[in-house]
């Protein structure tokens, strides 16, 4: 009986294994089918309409030229004003994508005529954009180096990834039946073709060609990898090839495109490596500061001014720098600073960095201004928003600068006046507010007391000479001379 049971159990075991295998295969099949339906894009692609729409956007003349010029002006103003919203608006109306998609399409289907037309329109587009941006920044009086502009001068590998995946999204959206317009707008913003060309014009206008070179390199990265993404998607979707292109020429063009992409990636990868190393250095430096200066307790008249901390990462022979600023009469003891230097060397990326602490009466005008600004922000943060704080601080700085410029060396002037005009007994000086009810002016007034017995005609002549001399001496033609009572 036991043998019979064993035999039955033995005969049922393979059947159970087969059931599991069938279920597993069924599950894999279901997953494969789900992923196929989820990621399949060929069945919903209209190759003819996609090709026609891309080719229709290649020509660059008439309305398209004026749209580009307007978008370049808008982007230039946005970059100059450091306004991200304005730059985004310029990117949305820019027609820069047309020739780039045309180049990718023509390489994928071996359409040499379309490639020539795309290259010609692309060249015209770049030249017109750079010239327009150059003229704007050259003629416009405000040419500050804003963060929006400087962000386009040092591209790295991340810009390559943005351009490539943005290009993929753009071509896939264009190929879909019923194009997804929101994707096209999003790619126009993400890949940022317009701002680099504006920055090229800015660099040339202010005489800094390295800005122009970095921005042009970023534009080339975006162009090549959008074109490469277009090439790969068109190949994947199996668009029909143009028949007159021979296979040898097709292979040659494909190799040239691949080599160009690799050549562009190499310096971009190097720049990314530098940015990555700098980020690691600053991260360790911040950790070091949290364990040292930020927990140090001053007894009374001393404080650490954290917004003046300088972290500079350098490669090669020049050492990196960690510089701290402390204000007040209380000095950090040298033994504490030496202990911090030992702690610094425990961090792998800070070992060779120079560590400096500026303290003990270092109190120049820039540090005073930053110190006052910091206190002001802390006291007013609950009452004023950020923009209002900046506006008020700018007004205060302008007022201080104006008043400082009006200060005169009265002691020296009075001594010179006494030596040159023997009839002067006393000299006074003040600023007087004066208005014609249209504007308010501050007038410098010198009050002269003449010696008793001085004749009127002598006083009149000396007063005129004194006024002419003082106007020249203090460089202020509004100066007034009055006779003291």
Final residue in a domain of this structure, among 189, 223, 245: 245
Check whether residue 88 and residue 177 sit in a common domain. yes
**Quick check: 119 and 103 in contact, CB under 8 A?**
yes
Check whether residue 11 and residue 129 sit in a common domain. no
Check whether residue 4 and residue 104 sit in a common domain. no
Check whether residue 159 and residue 76 sit in a common domain. yes
CA atoms of 67 and 331, how far apart (whole Å): 62
Which tens digits make up the pLDDT trace of 332-351? 888 888 899 999 989 988 98
Q: Are strands 303-304 and 321-327 parallel, antiparallel or unpaired?
A: antiparallel
Q: Is residue 281 situated within a structural domain?
A: no
Alpha-carbon distance values, 450 to 229, 415, 465 (Å): 88, 15, 14
Final residue in a domain of this structure, among 245, 278, 311: 245
If pLDDT is split at 50, 70 and 90, which confidence band does 287 have? very high
CA atoms of 113 and 118, how far apart (whole Å): 9
Q: Is residue 338 situated within a structural domain?
A: no
Check whether residue 236 and residue 214 sit in a common domain. yes
What is the number of structural domains in the chain?
A: 4
3-class DSSP state for residue 326? Answer: strand
What would the two tokens of residue 37 be?
């339906």
Mean pLDDT of all residues in 153-167: 72
Residues 206, 212, 218, CA angle at the centre, nearest 5°?
150
Distance of CA 53 to the CA centre of its chain: 34
Check whether residue 132 and residue 218 sit in a common domain. yes
Which tens digits make up the pLDDT trace of 369-426? 555 555 545 554 544 455 666 666 666 666 655 554 456 777 888 888 888 888 888 8
Which tens digits make up the pLDDT trace of 190-226? 556 778 888 888 888 888 888 888 888 888 878 888 8
Question: Can you give the pTM of this predicted structure?
Answer: 0.53
% of the chain surpassing 70 pLDDT: 75
Q: Whole domain around residue 479: which residue ranges?
A: 410-483
CA atoms of 275 and 285, how far apart (whole Å): 15
Q: Is residue 15 situated within a structural domain?
A: yes
Check whether residue 11 and residue 32 sit in a common domain. yes
Least confident residue range of 11-15, 98-102, 203-207, 275-279: 11-15
pLDDT at 483 over 80: yes
Check whether residue 154 and residue 61 sit in a common domain. yes
Q: Give the pLDDT confidence score for residue 386 in this predicted structure.
A: 58
84-93 vs 63-80: helix crossing angle, rounded to 10:
170
């Amino acid at each position: 009986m036991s043998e019979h049971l064993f035999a039955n159990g033995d005969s049922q075991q393979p059947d159970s294994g087969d059931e599991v295998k069938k279920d597993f295969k069924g599950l894999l099949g279901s997953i494969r089918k789900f992923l196929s339906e989820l990621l399949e894009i060929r069945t919903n692609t209209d190759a003819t309409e996609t090709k026609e729409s891309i080719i229709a956007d290649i020509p660059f003349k008439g309305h398209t030229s004026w749209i580009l010029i307007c978008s370049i002006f808008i982007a230039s103003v946005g970059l100059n004003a450091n306004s991200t919203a304005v730059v985004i608006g310029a990117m949305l109306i820019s027609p820069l994508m047309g020739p780039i998609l045309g180049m990718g399409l023509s390489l994928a289907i071996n359409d040499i005529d379309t490639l020539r037309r795309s290259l010609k329109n692309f060249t015209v587009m770049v030249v017109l954009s750079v010239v327009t941006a150059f003229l704007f920044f050259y003629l416009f009086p405000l040419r500050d180096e804003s963060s929006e502009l400087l962000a386009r001068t040092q591209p790295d590998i991340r810009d390559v990834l943005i351009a490539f995946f943005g290009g993929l999204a753009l071509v896939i959206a264009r190929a879909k039946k019923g194009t997804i317009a929101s994707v096209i707008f999003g790619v126009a913003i993400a890949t940022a073709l317009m701002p680099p060309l504006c920055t090229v014009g800015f660099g040339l206008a202010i005489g800094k060609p390295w800005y122009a070179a970095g921005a042009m390199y970023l534009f080339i990265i975006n162009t090549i990898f959008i074109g490469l993404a277009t090439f790969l998607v068109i190949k994947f979707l199996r668009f029909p090839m143009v028949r007159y292109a021979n296979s040898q020429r097709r292979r040659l063009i494909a190799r040239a495109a691949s080599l160009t992409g690799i050549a562009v990636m190499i310096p971009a990868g190097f720049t990314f490596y530098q940015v990555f190393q700098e980020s690691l250095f600053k991260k360790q430096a911040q950790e070091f500061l949290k364990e040292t200066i930020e927990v140090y307790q001053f007894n009374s008249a001393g404080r650490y001014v954290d917004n003046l901390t300088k972290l500079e990462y350098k490669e090669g022979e020049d050492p990196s720098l960690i510089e701290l600023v402390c204000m007040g009469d209380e000095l950090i003891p040298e033994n504490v600073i030496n202990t911090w230097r030992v702690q610094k060397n425990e961090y792998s990326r800070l070992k060779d960095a120079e560590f400096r602490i500026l303290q003990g009466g270092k109190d120049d005008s820039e540090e005073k201004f930053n110190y006052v600004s910091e206190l002001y922000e802390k006291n007013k943060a609950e009452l004023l928003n950020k923009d209002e704080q900046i506006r008020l601080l700018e007004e205060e700085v302008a007022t201080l600068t104006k008043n400082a410029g009006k200060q005169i060396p009265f002691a020296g002037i009075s001594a010179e006046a006494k030596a040159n005009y023997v009839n002067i007994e006393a000299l006074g000086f003040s600023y007087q507010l004066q208005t014609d009810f249209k504007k308010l002016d501050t007038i410098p007034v010198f009050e002269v007391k003449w010696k008793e017995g001085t004749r009127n005609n002598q006083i009149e002549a000396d007063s005129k000479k004194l006024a002419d001399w003082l106007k020249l001496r203090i460089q202020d033609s509004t100066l007034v001379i009055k006779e003291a009572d």
